[in-house]
Chains A and B, each alone.
Chain A
Amino acid sequence: MLKLIDVKKEYNQFTLNCSLEVLPGCVTGLIGQNGAGKSTTFKAILDLISIDGGSIEVLGKDSHQLQQKDKQLLGVVLSDAGFSDYLTIQDVIPILNQLYKKFNRRDFENKCQAFDLPLDKQIKDFSTGMKAKLKVLVALSHQAKLLILDEPTAGLDVIARDELLDMLRKYMEDNEDCSILISSHISSDLEGLCDDLYMIHDGQIIMHEETDVLLGEYAILKVDEKQYLELDKQYLLRHKKENFGYSCLTNQKQYYLDNYPSIVIEKGNIDELIMMMIRGEK
């Protein structure tokens, strides 16, 4: 569905160097801090910026060669861009109807009503949540094969985020051969949705793992100085000095459970894993 191989983009004080793949039927998450390179990666995929090296394949084609008919199969949400704020949903409907062959007008209108989005109000008068919902509804309105969603839940409250994620889950249930690449800096959003996760930091992919493995086999060991010295370190990915001793990130939780029954082993959530990957030392 989507393949980035050694994609490079150089700015004055930032370099993106990224490889990732989204497989058919999979939801792939891209997580990282603000400024880590998520949006740059999305812009490169969508050919909104030129790249300085590597290759990007979207739906089997070089992203630079994407034509109108290929773009029909993409559904896109950008964190900081959408239809003009001076349009209403009523204005947007004929535009989408004209641009997308498979645009389902009735379904789109029904969903807008279901999500309490007024059809005759200018988008500039929408709340942040309403704008975000509209962006996702637009991306889902034309049976896209690949959804590319950059921070679709940014600025939303818990309820609105949950509603949005439910929409995406439902879309994947109804369209099993579709794929999603989604980014968020709220990792809990991605935990329950993604099949695999890429972690990006300073423009580099620092980790790629299936979500189940990440949640099941990764753990944080909390040890004092003495325990740390005695610890077998071959399965430690990162370690970080703490007041009590050390926090250590491992992807072999069971090994340490079996061999070091006395140490504290916490099943870390993704936020903690990110913190360890970024702040910890190798």
Chain B
Amino acid sequence: MLGLLIKDFKLLKNQKAFFMMLIGFALFFLVINNDPIFVVAYVTFLSCLFVVSSISYDEYNNSNVFLMTLPITRKEYTIEKYTFGLLIGSCSWVLATTLTTVYSYLNMSHFQLIEWLGTCFVMLLIALIFMSIVVPVQLKFGQTKGNVAMILCMAAIAAIGFAGIKVAELFGIDIFGIIDSLSTMGSAALLVMILAFVLVCLGISYSISLQIMRRKQF
């Protein structure tokens, strides 16, 4: 698996220009818009998207067909994609959080460090949920069909969410009331709940991706 990680990091070198743009925009949003949380979300989300580009690089020129003949299994390939996404997403999140924390500490009069870090952590978790949707879609549909599939997937999630709320209303369940009541749980408990939810999402996503890879015909 380490060999595959090396490959993906070597391929990342080809996206230097995109990286520089990412950093440039992040600094722009931070200084001009004075919106540090947007910067954390922006950098973390886009970094998690590098896992998509790594899958696209593998598809280009049938490179993934050759990769499957190397001493790796389809399971290891799948694990590597999540590991790569987690690594690149977490590292970018740490950098963005550090930068924005220092910036906020220096520029904001009533800066609450713990609350701020909690909010940043939630951004990382949301980005990981996003990654858990993107990876199986990309593995299944590839670069060309993947974008359309992703839009349909997001629309389907929104539709399911909307339908869920409507069904809950029919049974007299107030979803928004439940969400409001969550805020009374306390920040730590809420964070643990979100973390557990993200881990479940990643677990389900991994199982789906593994099945896709196992059934994939090259």
Contacts and interface: CB of A to CB of B under 8 A. Distances in A.
B70 A81 contact: no
A2 to B, nearest CB: 14
B183 interface: no
Interface residues of A, number: 30
A124 B88 CA distance: 26
Interface SS of chain B: helix, strand, loop or mixed?
helix
Interface residues of B, number: 25
A193 to B, nearest CB: 21
B33 interface: no
Given A68-B73, A95-B10, A99-B71, A81 B63 contact: yes
A48 B2 contact: no
B218 A43 contact: yes
B62 to A, nearest CB: 4
A50 B68 CA distance: 14
Nearest to A43: B218
Interface string B20-61: 000000000000000000000000000000000000011011
A209 interface: no
A87 B11 contact: yes
Contact of A68 (B62, B69, B71): B71
B72 interface: yes
Contact of A71 (B65, B69, B218): B69
Nearest to B64: A81
A80 B65 CA distance: 9
Contacts of A68: 71-73, 76
A78 interface: yes
Interface string B176-213: 00000000000000000000000000000000000000
A49 to B, nearest CB: 5
Given A98-B2, A98-B3, A85 B60 contact: yes
A82 B58 CA distance: 10
A116 B76 CA distance: 34
Contacts of B4: 95
Given A48-B65, A76-B66, A84 B72 contact: no
A87 B7 CA distance: 8
B68 A84 contact: no
Given A86-B57, A87-B7, A48 B217 contact: yes
Given A67-B73, A71-B70, A82-B61, A91 B3 contact: no
Given A50-B217, A84-B7, A78 B69 contact: yes
Given A86-B11, A91-B10, A98-B3, A80 B69 contact: no
Query: A-B pairs with the 10 shortest C-beta distances?
Result: A81-B62, A99-B3, A98-B3, A48-B218, A76-B69, A71-B71, A81-B66, A91-B10, A81-B65, A84-B63
Interface of B: 2-4, 6-7, 10-11, 14, 57-58, 60-63, 65-66, 68-73, 76, 217-218
Interface of A: 43, 46-50, 67-69, 71-72, 74, 76, 78, 80-87, 91, 94-96, 98-100, 148
25 contacts: A48-B68, A48-B218, A68-B71, A68-B72, A68-B76, A71-B69, A78-B62, A81-B62, A81-B65, A81-B66, A82-B61, A83-B7, A83-B63, A83-B66, A84-B58, A86-B60, A87-B10, A87-B11, A94-B6, A95-B3, A95-B7, A96-B3, A98-B3, A98-B6, A148-B69
Given A84-B61, A87-B10, 15 more contacts: A46-B68, A46-B69, A47-B68, A48-B69, A68-B76, A72-B71, A76-B66, A76-B69, A80-B62, A83-B66, A84-B58, A84-B63, A86-B11, A98-B6, A99-B70
